Chains A and B, each alone.
Chain A
């Protein structure tokens, strides 16, 4: 099953005429030197060809709507259709972002309510919705931490501490904010090595970034001691909300001692991943950091005639770290999260973490009973857990990567592999609350079958996948013989499928 490039499906002069103005308007008043001499190389195809091509491309994908997708740390739960439909109501969709506030009260009210619910879910006192993905939320958090120290004249604090199991965005963000990264190890039971942390905190500590539960799938039990160590040294504590799904409605980051948190709305609050975005990485803070929140923020004025909502920007937020987007962030994503949260309510949010954790612990127990090795078998799983295939790899040569590809052939998206890097041959498995027990059982059965086959016929497992549009791809070739555009294929016909 292969779909030719859209460029290879066209014929010169073919168009979808109903999609453009019928008459080509003159442009004689523009200087001739500014006019494009050769048209851009866009496809020349009919509307049906376009619809068919992209429908077929969509069918080459795995997605939540078509497959179990237990991708650890990514929270691939069901994305309710209602959220999409209601965020796309014309009253939201057709609004120019610079419309007067008086024309946008319904929209602003949704965002204001969302801010309030996110404060409740984190225990924080201030929220900005503007960061457009988790990494921008992280940027905001670290920039706020820096601004806080600077505002106090505490200018020597330029180090951000991260555990070795942290997401790559944590150290990359620290660098973007001009900070040095100090990595600390994890102890044998999955908690942060507290002694190592106490060694590195000091007058250069700006803050520490922590995910809790961690990317190892366990709750950091010494969080109070960690907060004390970081705060005692004058630093602030950053909560990476990637795993908030595990504790929603059960523990509040603010109470754990965190000063700032970002939440990936495209994880916990079920907005779609869209094949790689758009996300939303809202930030919530306590009073210390509130003045530094990125702008704009939605404010409310209460009057005799009811509430009036408005944007708070530069004039009212003089200490803000500033703007992060051309307008106000990923509004449509925020609306989808808002719809989801209203559908869940407080009880529904607590159920999310309850059943996500139930599913993870059940699947971990089931796999352990079948002889797989959980990385932290003595611990409760959070909403996700790690299986190490080290022994199977040693005995058969079949690696975590091979398991991942073999799962695809069995109709399951692979778990996250080789992350966190400190567990060898690992699968990070996050089933989410929206999967039924029989789906988990079928997944466990698939892993058992793959392992059995690994002992019988390792080469067979290593040859997976066989049922997908392509088999394993040559990544080295992709990087060495760069083929990044259709135009480039004219230069290197060897790659061309034509």
Chain B
């Protein structure tokens, strides 16, 4: 019997101790009309060898491609040690560290993680993770509404070029609490500062500033931060964590710095994995710590005065506070945080900065190479890590033909942002080589019917 250790003798002796004749008898409190004997629709069990064969066959049907697609998930190198260690049974099969004395490994690791993310974002406090970037953004909005100076402010201002899926997710998650996400007007790929005056004196709890924005461009971070603070609003930064090794962190934006930072942790050692599990990070100023959702680990001392770690400020959480909790989150993405902490330790600040710089250099090289194909326009403003190309033809069929050639050519922006025309979002991480870029350029020229020099 898979995963059940009982011998026939064990079972008989245990039933004897209970005073039951069969295992089925143990279910005699379930009303007979509700009992079922089988699960039609579930196939018979297979051996590990047979399931291995099945899964290998299915995995092989997923075609391998050359990836120039980002749009929220990025293919980075993951050092071998990251998952070798993260999947050790002592991390993999442990529960949430409620019994602190028996969980010091996980607790210290989360404390180190919190330190790293607080440092990367330039803020003081980090939680132990949320589900992913999109839900971290939603939780940041909820947190800002709770922490807002104007108690009745239930609007969050969001630039036009925010990740469109994150916006959908946030709308799903905040809908029940009558919170409204209000889109700001943009010109030339970023928020139009002059149009901010059109908002009049509406109450806003916060503004969220993506960094870089969904197009890979830069919002006027300092101006928006100062504008928001002058209106009594909080500032939420939605950041790519790799970028923060190279770019000015949210804690240093404007005169006072952003108040909350959130984002998708996947670039920090988490495989693309068909969409998840990833993890969301959330950091903030110390003054907002009691509005923080999710778990927090703190240092303390034991009865002998020795230092140790424990979950803290649990009065914010659902298992204590029930209907008054800051969020309903319980299970988060612990193992992903384990991987990310190992990743950040292996890379260090110089390593991570080099990864960021190489991603940027490769994207720059990609943009130059593709823009040399006739009819394609490169962006004029600075970008990081991702950039928008304008094609002379609709993007979808171009991407389809590239995919048939084994190339993931990027993200078609035309459905989400029709004002951009035939716009294609491309990305080249540190893993793309000059040769990869040449392959893409030749394939794209072929699709567009343009002759290019090899």
Contacts of A404 in B (CB 8 A): 99
Asked if A134 is at the interface (CB within 8 A of a chain B CB), the reply is: yes
Interface size class for chain A? 35 or more
Asked if A495 is at the interface (CB within 8 A of a chain B CB), the reply is: yes
CB B317 to nearest CB in A, in angstroms, measures 8
Bound-complex Cα distance A221 to B35 (A): 12
Contacts of A300 in B (CB 8 A): none
One of B20-28, B436-444, B446-454 contacting the partner: B20-28
Cβ of B354 and Cβ of A20 under 8 Å apart? yes
CB A101 to nearest CB in B, in angstroms, measures 10
Bound-complex Cα distance A174 to B318 (A): 11
Contacts of B329 in A (CB 8 A): 133, 135
Cβ of A42 and Cβ of B56 under 8 Å apart? no
A90 interface neighbour in B59, B106, B247, B400, Cβ under 8 Å? B59
Cβ of A274 and Cβ of B91 under 8 Å apart? yes
Asked if B226 is at the interface (CB within 8 A of a chain A CB), the reply is: no
Bound-complex Cα distance A477 to B9 (A): 51
Bound-complex Cα distance A94 to B76 (A): 10
Interface string of B91-106 (1 = CB under 8 A from A): 1111111011111111
In the complex, 15 of the A-B residue pairs with CB atoms within 8 angstroms, ordered by the A residue number, are A5-B108, A19-B79, A30-B384, A66-B90, A91-B61, A270-B3, A273-B96, A277-B333, A330-B131, A346-B43, A361-B26, A362-B18, A437-B13, A481-B300, A485-B124
Contacts of A435 in B (CB 8 A): 5
Interface string of A56-82 (1 = CB under 8 A from B): 111111111111010100101111101
Cβ of B85 and Cβ of A51 under 8 Å apart? yes
Bound-complex Cα distance A223 to B30 (A): 9
Asked if A24 is at the interface (CB within 8 A of a chain B CB), the reply is: yes
Contacts of B400 in A (CB 8 A): 100
Cβ of A42 and Cβ of B95 under 8 Å apart? no
Contacts of B99 in A (CB 8 A): 62, 404, 408, 413-414
Contacts of B92 in A (CB 8 A): 63, 65, 79, 84, 272, 274
* 14 new A-B contacts at CB < 8 Å, known A58-B105, A326-B72: A37-B252, A40-B244, A55-B85, A65-B90, A96-B272, A255-B36, A323-B172, A324-B172, A325-B275, A329-B276, A365-B17, A437-B6, A469-B104, A473-B302
Cβ of A470 and Cβ of B14 under 8 Å apart? no
A117 interface neighbour in B41, B245, B342, Cβ under 8 Å? B41
Interface size class for chain B? 35 or more
Cβ of B358 and Cβ of A94 under 8 Å apart? no
Cβ of B277 and Cβ of A34 under 8 Å apart? no
Asked if A453 is at the interface (CB within 8 A of a chain B CB), the reply is: no
Bound-complex Cα distance A489 to B400 (A): 54
Asked if A475 is at the interface (CB within 8 A of a chain B CB), the reply is: yes
B327-352 at interface with A (beta carbon < 8 Å): 327-336, 338, 341-342, 344-352
- Given contacts A51-B81, A251-B30, whether A105 and B89 have CB atoms under 8 Å apart is no
Cβ of A250 and Cβ of B351 under 8 Å apart? no
Asked if B42 is at the interface (CB within 8 A of a chain A CB), the reply is: yes
Bound-complex Cα distance A109 to B116 (A): 39
Interface string of B369-386 (1 = CB under 8 A from A): 000000000000010100
Contacts of B3 in A (CB 8 A): 77-78, 80, 270, 343-344, 433-434
Contacts of A324 in B (CB 8 A): 135, 169, 172-173
One of B180-188, B198-206, B304-312 contacting the partner: B304-312
Closest 3 A/B residue pairs (Cβ)? A345-B45, A91-B59, A65-B89
Cβ of A54 and Cβ of B96 under 8 Å apart? no
Bound-complex Cα distance A223 to B94 (A): 34
A272 interface neighbour in B35, B46, B97, B335, Cβ under 8 Å? B335
One of A177-185, A195-203, A228-236, A392-400 contacting the partner: A177-185
Task: Name which of A103, A176, A487 has the most chain B CB atoms within 10 A of its CB.
Answer: A176
A134 interface neighbour in B69, B271, B299, B330, Cβ under 8 Å? B330
Contacts of A341 in B (CB 8 A): 42
Cβ of B351 and Cβ of A278 under 8 Å apart? no
Task: Name which of B133, B328, B349 has the most chain A CB atoms within 10 A of its CB.
Answer: B328
Asked if B303 is at the interface (CB within 8 A of a chain A CB), the reply is: yes
- Given contacts A42-B352, A413-B102, whether A92 and B274 have CB atoms under 8 Å apart is yes
CB B98 to nearest CB in A, in angstroms, measures 8
A41 interface neighbour in B24, B54, B349, B357, Cβ under 8 Å? B349
Query: Across the two chains, which residue of chain B brings its CB closest to A257?
Result: B34
Asked if A497 is at the interface (CB within 8 A of a chain B CB), the reply is: yes
Contacts of A86 in B (CB 8 A): 51-52, 55-56, 59
Asked if B218 is at the interface (CB within 8 A of a chain A CB), the reply is: yes
Cβ of B64 and Cβ of A405 under 8 Å apart? no
Bound-complex Cα distance A169 to B328 (A): 5
CB B308 to nearest CB in A, in angstroms, measures 4
Bound-complex Cα distance A94 to B37 (A): 40
- Given contacts A19-B346, A357-B26, A474-B303, whether A96 and B108 have CB atoms under 8 Å apart is no
Cβ of B97 and Cβ of A276 under 8 Å apart? yes
CB A211 to nearest CB in B, in angstroms, measures 14
Cβ of B298 and Cβ of A331 under 8 Å apart? no
Asked if A337 is at the interface (CB within 8 A of a chain B CB), the reply is: no
Cβ of A471 and Cβ of B330 under 8 Å apart? no
Query: Across the two chains, which residue of chain A brings its CB closest to B45?
Result: A345
Cβ of A33 and Cβ of B248 under 8 Å apart? yes
B106 interface neighbour in A19, A276, A359, Cβ under 8 Å? A276
Task: Name which of B1, B172, B218, B248 has the most chain A CB atoms within 10 A of its CB.
Answer: B172
